[in-house]
Amino acid sequence: MISLKPRSILLISAIFRVGLILFGEWQDTHVEVRYTDVDYLVFSDAASLMASGQSPYKRTTYRYSPLLAFLLIPNSFTSRCWGKFLFSASDLFVGLFIRIILKQRKVPDDLCTYSMLIWLFNPFTFTIGTRGNCEPIVCAMILWIIICLNNGNVVQAAFWYGLIVHFRIYPIIYALPIIIFLDPCFFRSGTKPLLSDWTSDQGKARQINSELTDKCVVSDALKSTFTRSRILFGLISGTVFLLCTGFFFRLYGWEFLHEALLYHLTRTDPRHNFSIYFYHIYLNYERELSVLEKLISFLPQFIVQLVLILCFAKDLVFCFFVQTVAFVAFNKVITAQYFVWFFCLLPLILPWSNMKLKWKGLCCILLWMGAQTHWLLWGYLLEFKGKNVFLQLWMASLLFLAANTFILIVLIRHHNYGPVFRQHTDLKTTKTT
Amino acid sequence: MKSYFENYESLHDSSFEDFMAHQLSSSLCQGIPDNWNVGVRLSVRELSLVGEGSHRHLSSSIRLQIAAASIPKLPAHLCEVIVIQRLPLGVFADPFELQNPHKHKAFRDIAVFGDTNLELPSFQSNRSAVEFHIDAGFNILFMQNNGTEFNLLLPLHARYQPLDESGYSVVEIGEPDMLMRCSVEGKQHKQSCLFMSPPNEKAKSTSATVAWKIPAGMKAHAGFVSVITFVTALLSTLSIVYASMFLSGTKVSKT
């Protein structure tokens, strides 16, 4: 049993990250292979352009909101590491928010501690922020939205949601589950929703929770679709998104709209990446793909997202997690930084999983890492040895999708699904399988 | 190169050679009244590709030779060697990488002209060229020498190539174009002029190119890759849908 206090964990994590940032600076100066992510150089260049009154989009390959460049303006006049410290601080906030969310559901201290450690000492996640990648900011905002929703604070959740969709488009996939989540049975005017607490049974046998009754689902279906909470959430988040987008469009014009928004919606990259579609895109890049072909490649993503939302929306964090894993796995382009989108949600679902680390959990970890390493080996041969291994690399990406699918199914099977909220008049019945 | 791209939209060998032969002729040192009739010869001693894979370095060794005796009336001057490396369609140089002060401190200036898009495949991009300015020193024309050598190491990256049945695409990189520019303080303003090697020495032989073999996709793969990709996506979709609907802990019951 781990007896470390959360404050100590955060302090050790902070010191570790400061050390990594300083080491990274040394490595960049003395070693051929840089520690700093090439994206960080792009952000910094965009920030210095903005600081001198110019458009950040003069920096080629800057494809983010101007907000990011704005946050990194201090890079130009304080230290070029300012951004890394900011991202690492967000990284620490994610650890803190993980604990807050679990404590909201009365998860015991030891499980909370393990969950924090899974994020804060995951080699993938602590290198992300210290190398200068901005994803920890996104993760922190997503978790803060979850905290606000758990507290029934719809207005604040909506504000941050509008902002995060402007900042990074992918959280738009959470819109429908959030709307479903704002169930009028739980979100009533003037009353804070009641959270379902974690119980010790969660980690044992799987349970089937029968929360949905005739009253809430069937007879009030139409009346409950457009509720105050849902309308408020939609209006506020939509307004924030449009205000931010409109403001930056006014400042930077079509270049902003294309680089920060449209590029991500229409992006297809023929260059090798983890996606199963990369080779198909490359082989067909010289001709225009037909509407049917584009639809066929979009359909799996659409179907999976819809089914996951309809099945799991009431268990919002689990829904976010499975949606994100599926979204990344079926995307036309997959880069390693996307993995952090679901890594930040994984510690939040583990207390509700009856899968043990030994040996099923360990097998899943090894399978995922093995499939990734296998792909990386072929990628290395192609990119750094100049061997034509496109076919093998493509097959490795198929295997990677298969591994992701398998692990997702295993997690679904072992998850104790349960709506986050319970009714004030408690009608919950549980049956152990 | 800036002057070239003010007159032309993209880089073509014929346009560039025409530009060098005609547009720059008025700037040659032989033409100016002080008669800087000095034999300057710039040649490539060695050209090679260093490294493997999609990221390599083009190594060039440039020799500068000054012929004949000193010219007493020639004023004090400062010279720089200008090297223009034209790149073929299949490769590019990263302008941000070339700004790294640690690696390129020997150069007075480096710039990339033409298509600097780092992401597009070769069949959707245009050519580019890299221009180096190297300090040749003060009063170099007074010194008869056997040759000064400058070594250039240019980092290059391969673009995604057009499909090829063989699975590879060969890209050839030729010798760079070289000039020397000397400037002198005139009575009213700074004066500069260019030295270029005589035309008969500029003819490039085929042995003066380096070949880079870059992997390319094979058209023969197109059919089955597309089918298997979509079938795999479909199978994964069906598995996840089945698991979500029938293997998860969700169940709706009516009380």
Share of chain A above pLDDT 90, in %: 65
B164-190 mean pLDDT: 82
- Name the pLDDT band for A432 (thresholds 50, 70, 90): very low
pLDDT for B220 equals: 92
pLDDT (tens digit, 9 = 90+) per residue, A81-109? 999 999 999 999 999 999 999 999 899 99
Who's near B195: CB < 8 A, 6+ residues apart? B28, B29, B38, B40, B42, B179, B180, B181, B182
**Residue among B113, B114, B148 at smallest CA distance from B134:** B148
DSSP class per residue in A347-411: HHHGGGB---IIIIIHHHHHHHHHHHHHHHHHHHHHHHH----HHHHHHHHHHHHHHHHHHHHHH
Residue B197 has pLDDT above 70, yes or no: no
pLDDT (tens digit, 9 = 90+) per residue, A63-84? 999 999 999 999 988 888 999 9
Q: Please report, as a single letter, which amino acid is at residue A270.
A: P
Q: Is A106 left (phi over 0), alpha (psi -120 to 50) or beta?
A: left
Residue B1 has pLDDT above 80, yes or no: no
Share of chain B above pLDDT 70, in %: 68
B181-201 mean pLDDT: 65
A29 inside 8 A of chain B by CB: yes
CA dihedral (A154, A160, A166, A170) in degrees, to 10, reads: -80
List % helix, strand, coil for chain B (3-state, nearest 5). 25, 40, 35
Contact A60 B239 (CB under 8 A): no
Residue A427 has pLDDT above 50, yes or no: no
- Name the pLDDT band for A2 (thresholds 50, 70, 90): low
Q: Residue A57: phi, psi to the nearest 5?
A: -80, 0
Of B121, B222, B255, the CB nearest to A213: B255
Which residues on B lie below 8 Å from A277 (Cβ)?
A: 229
CA distance B53 to chain A (A): 4
Read off the tokens for B44: 């490539």
Residue A389 has pLDDT above 90, yes or no: yes
Which residues on B lie below 8 Å from A282 (Cβ)?
A: 121, 160, 217
Q: Model ipTM?
A: 0.88
pLDDT (tens digit, 9 = 90+) per residue, B37-84? 566 778 888 899 999 999 999 999 888 877 655 455 556 677 888 889
Give the highest mean pLDDT range of A40-49, B1-10, B206-215: A40-49
Which residues on A lie below 8 Å from B253 (Cβ)?
A: 210, 212
pLDDT for B254 equals: 35
Distance CA B155, CA B94 (A): 8
Cβ(A148)–Cβ(A236) below 8 Å: no
Contact B249 A208 (CB under 8 A): yes
Contact A210 B255 (CB under 8 A): yes
Contact B254 A29 (CB under 8 A): no
- How far, rounded to the nearest angstrom, does the alpha carbon of residue B57 sit from its chain's CA centroid? 11
Distance CA A20, CA A384 (A): 27
Distance CA A52, CA B150 (A): 37
B112 inside 8 A of chain A by CB: no
Residue B10 per-residue DSSP state: S
Q: Which of A180-189, B44-53, B115-124 has the lowest mean pLDDT?
A: A180-189
Give the highest mean pLDDT range of A399-413, B16-30, B104-118: A399-413
Residue A258 per-residue DSSP state: I
Read off the tokens for B1: 């190169």
A135-155 mean pLDDT: 95
B163 inside 8 A of chain A by CB: yes
A328-336 mean pLDDT: 93
Instruction: Give the residue carrying structure tokens 């479909």.
Output: B234
- Name the pLDDT band for B99 (thresholds 50, 70, 90): confident
Residue A420 per-residue DSSP state: S
DSSP class per residue in B157-187: EEPPPPP-TTSEEEEEE-PPEEEEEEEEE-S
Contact B160 A270 (CB under 8 A): yes
Residue spans of the domains in chain B: they are 4-215, 219-248
Read off the tokens for B202: 């500029």
Read off the tokens for A370: 């093995």
Distance CA B24, CA B194 (A): 8
